[in-house]
Structure 1
Amino acid sequence: MNVGLGLPISDPPALLDWARCADAGPFSTVALLDRLVYDNPEPLVTLAALAGATGRIRVQTEVLLAPLRQPALMAKQVATLDRLSEGRLTLGIGLGGRRDDYTAAGVGVRGRGARLDEIMTDMRRIWSGEPYGEESGPIGPAPTRQGGPEILFGGFTTATVQRVARFGDGLLSASPLDDTDRLFRATEQAWRAAGRTGRPKLVAQVNAALGPDTTIEEARGHLRRYYGGPHYMDLPANYTDLVGQRMLTTSGEVRDAVDRLTEIGADEIIFYCWSADMDQIDRFAEALA
């Protein structure tokens, strides 16, 4: 089982140290979330710095809010990061659930799913080397892998599953175990129905904090702040409380999550760390040994 770490966003300068330590450990990936109306570091810029500070570990957006971005420039930025990291980029991509992010970007909420489909079509065409349009030539650089970097779609819906089958390499699920199992099976079914060969990559994201009470309370505070507020779309009113309650806080819970997610076919688990306590890297490594 591959295990990655979602990096805490409260102390951006410390992320270089987090990435270097994770790179020296047993972890497969370091990941960063994306928001606009929040004090998180911009993920593509930050992951470029982290790729330069590491030599082995993959770097991943989790997930990049594609409808907020212009597709030609985004395709160029992603391909550049893919080349700089020598193919270590996984592009987690999705819609996001915050209305204020769309408002700040000047992008309408209605039709955002169709916009994402158009963006994926445009980026795949750009990464294939085709001219961007009748009056525009190709947009480089070419990505390391023909057709673009590894792409995971994050989400909870049937539309997300269908996008994996049409455009992606796999699914990123941040749902509870039962829902993740359902989404994994639906993704496999859609993949086969689309005539895709091989199998989709199945990745689970789990919020976790390991350490003393101060570390756990810091993590819960950042988690509540990130998921709090009135701007979420299509989520229950108590969603923030549910997310906080599901956060793992012991080594036993972490090991149990690995066992249970392995049973339902996860290829990788990303434990998202909300506390800036760097000693968690060693604690996760010990829990997983």
Structure 2
Amino acid sequence: MNIGIGLPIGDPPVLLDWAQRADAGPFSTLGLLDRLVYHNPEPLVALAVLAGATSRIRVQTEVLLAPLREPALLAKQAATLDQMTGGRLTLGLGIGGRHDDHLVAGVDMHTRGRRLDEQMAVMRRIWSGKPFSQDAGPIGPAPAHPGGPAILFGGFHPTALERVARWGDGFLAAAPPTWAGDLFDTVRTFWKQYDRRGHPRIVAQVNLALGPQPVIDDARANMHAYYAFTGMADQMVTTMLTTPAQVRETITAFTDLGADEVMFYCYGLDPSQVDRLSEAL
């Protein structure tokens, strides 16, 4: 089982400390959330800085709200980051659920799923090295891997789960083990229906705060503010893991479900949580 760390978003400069601690530890991936109308750092820019400050750990968007972006430029940005990190980029994509994000981007929220499918067709073509159109040539640079960086999709609706098999390499599941198994099974069923080789990569996402009570309180407050728009923030905060025993139990549960990686998302700013998580493992 690979273990990754989802980075807090409240203080971008401190993320260098987080990244370097994680790179020196047993962790596989650094993840970063995406919103537009919020004080979070833009994930591709931030992850580029963190990749330059590390040597081996992967960087991953979880999830980048692709419909808010123009696909040709997004494809170029992703290919650049993938190539310059030696293939360490994983592009986690989703459609988002905030009206204000889509409003300021000038994107119709009701067609964002269809837009993502159209974007994937464009980006896959660009990453293949083919001309963009009859009137425009290829858009480089070439990504580190033929066909583009690894693509994961997040979501819960069957359309989102089917998108994993149509366009992606794997699934990002922001769900507890108690009901993530059904999502995993649905993704695997679509994978077989599309006659895809091998197996979809399954990545679970869990919220975490490790440390003294002020660290936990800080994490809960930050997570509540981030998800306030859902109307379910109170319920979501109660699921946050706060003990090493819960960490180990969760890893075991997702291992039993066949997940490939667990991303522990930290909303508290204290970078010592990296060391505490390492000890908990």
TM-score of the superposed pair, with normalisation by structure 2: 0.99
Aligned to 2:95: 95
1:178 & 1:123 partners in 2: Cα distance? 35
Q: Is the 8 A contact 1:156 1:175 kept in 2?
A: no
Q: Is the 8 A contact 1:218 1:275 kept in 2?
A: yes
1:143 & 1:267 partners in 2: Cα distance? 24
The one-letter code sitting in structure 2 at the alignment partner of 1:254 is: V
Shift of 1:143: 0.4
Whether 1:250 and 2:243 are equivalent positions in the alignment is yes
Shift of 1:241: 1.4
2:256 to 237, 240, 263: 263
Aligned to 1:76: 76
Aligned to 2:180: 180
Shift of 1:176: 2.3
TM alignment of 1:1-289, pairs within 5 A: 1-229=1-229, 232=230, 237=231, 239-288=232-281
Unaligned runs of 5+ in 2: none
Shift of 1:179: 2.5
Shift of 1:157: 1.3
2:280 & 2:86 partners in 1: Cα distance? 30
Equivalent position SS for 1:207: strand
Q: Please, what is the CA RMSD of the aligned residues?
A: 0.7
Equivalent position SS for 1:111: helix
2:188 & 2:7 partners in 1: Cα distance? 29
The one-letter code sitting in structure 1 at the alignment partner of 2:248 is: R
Equivalent position SS for 1:110: helix
1:44-97 per-position Cα deviation (integer Å, ceiling 9, x unaligned): 001111111111100000000000000000000000000111100000000011
1:252 & 1:131 partners in 2: Cα distance? 53
1:182-204 per-position Cα deviation (integer Å, ceiling 9, x unaligned): 11011111101100010000000
The one-letter code sitting in structure 2 at the alignment partner of 1:256 is: E
1:186 & 1:222 partners in 2: Cα distance? 32
1:15 & 1:278 partners in 2: Cα distance? 8
2:176 & 2:57 partners in 1: Cα distance? 26
1:97 & 1:259 partners in 2: Cα distance? 31
2:218 & 2:16 partners in 1: Cα distance? 20
Equivalent position SS for 1:206: strand
Equivalent position SS for 2:110: coil
Unaligned runs of 5+ in 1: none
The one-letter code sitting in structure 1 at the alignment partner of 2:200 is: P
Q: How many residues align?
A: 281
1:59 & 1:152 partners in 2: Cα distance? 13
Equivalent position SS for 1:59: strand
| Misfit runs of 4+, over 3 Å | none
Q: Is the 8 A contact 1:129 1:140 kept in 2?
A: yes
2:252 & 2:176 partners in 1: Cα distance? 14
